Homo-oligomer: A and B are copies of this chain.
């Protein structure tokens, strides 16, 4: 009989196991030594190096590009890629990194996801050998910063209708001219290389292009920042305006055509979000718990003594534990070649929705004090709203799942 299956003999276990509110369903038990080590490295960096900066950065809407360098030094960028100086860790390990970063701030995680999953991922999965050699090693070190240009102003949830276009250069052989606008592009104002998806005029098919900022003639590439954001203020977001920007043919991603390209990258990034947002939620639980234990009202009782407060904590801890297990499961299936995009839609949607919902409920524990940004919970709430809307707003994933369940599409 399988040694894992020794039936009703657990009572003889010598040490009594303890409930751990930070990992209520023992998800650590599912991780390998390597994954635990990766997670610990990332958590330590984030708590020691990122956490102290985030309050001011968020206030100022400032993102320090040095952060990507620091992450690169620790091997946290493009970590699931084999070779090119990348760590080559498991999908779950990669997501544990996003969780550690998002425990501090979803904006920092967004910036890293773009670098790792969207840009390095696109180049790794669909790039030529030359493209990989040229970009991946320096991106892994955070020396080259990437951005991913898919979303357009008028087609947020429907990239298939994109208007950006690449036409053959009228007189410069081997060149395309790119024209179009992209918006809500994380990292775009500071990016060195931008993966831009555009329709090839000749075929009408969507293709990916590596737009290398330093080679763009003046006026052909503009990447203005979007300011006064209501969330993700610790990351930098902008637009991409391409005005007949010449891009050499060898900068087109050769291995993919159509929406499959961006969707594969998004899938990867979405997966990272699914575990990432659990970090933000867990941080809200930890902050709310600490506050509830310390804050006293009515005869000196800590808030933690009130049933209405305990329910908020119990509900949130449950959703965090469930979401973590689901994300780990999908990561394992991904590495076994058994994950489907719908699975990722499911965990992305559910984990973002539950993280946001519970963060808001936990915020109530702080009462009026949550209005002070120093408690951090308001920042998570504002950030998590954004995670719910990007890389597939929840309603879109609902309809993706509905289609997968019923076989009928209802996008109308």
Contact = CB atoms under 8 A, between A and B. Distances in A.
A304 B412 CA distance: 11
A73 B314 CA distance: 41
Given A17-B340, A412-B305, A310 B403 contact: yes
Contact of A368 (B80, B184, B367): B184
A1 B34 contact: yes
Contact of A371 (B229, B323, B330, B334): B229
Number of copies: 4
A25 B393 contact: no
10 contacts: A4-B335, A5-B34, A5-B90, A5-B92, A10-B91, A19-B343, A29-B333, A151-B368, A367-B393, A370-B385
Interface in A24-69: 24-27, 29-30, 32, 34-35, 59
Interface stretch (A174-182, A196-204, A205-213, A289-297): A289-297
A250 interface: no
From A18, A27, A321, name the one whose CB has the most chain B CB atoms within 10 angstroms.
Answer: A321
Interface of A: 1-2, 4-15, 17-19, 21, 24-27, 29-30, 32, 34-35, 59, 80-82, 88-93, 121, 124-125, 151, 154-158, 161, 184, 226, 228-232, 237, 264, 268, 285, 289, 292-293, 296-299, 301-302, 304-311, 313-315, 317-318, 321-323, 325-326, 329-330, 332-340, 342-343, 346-347, 349-350, 360, 363-364, 367-374, 378-379, 381-382, 385-386, 388-390, 393-395, 398-399, 401-408, 410-412
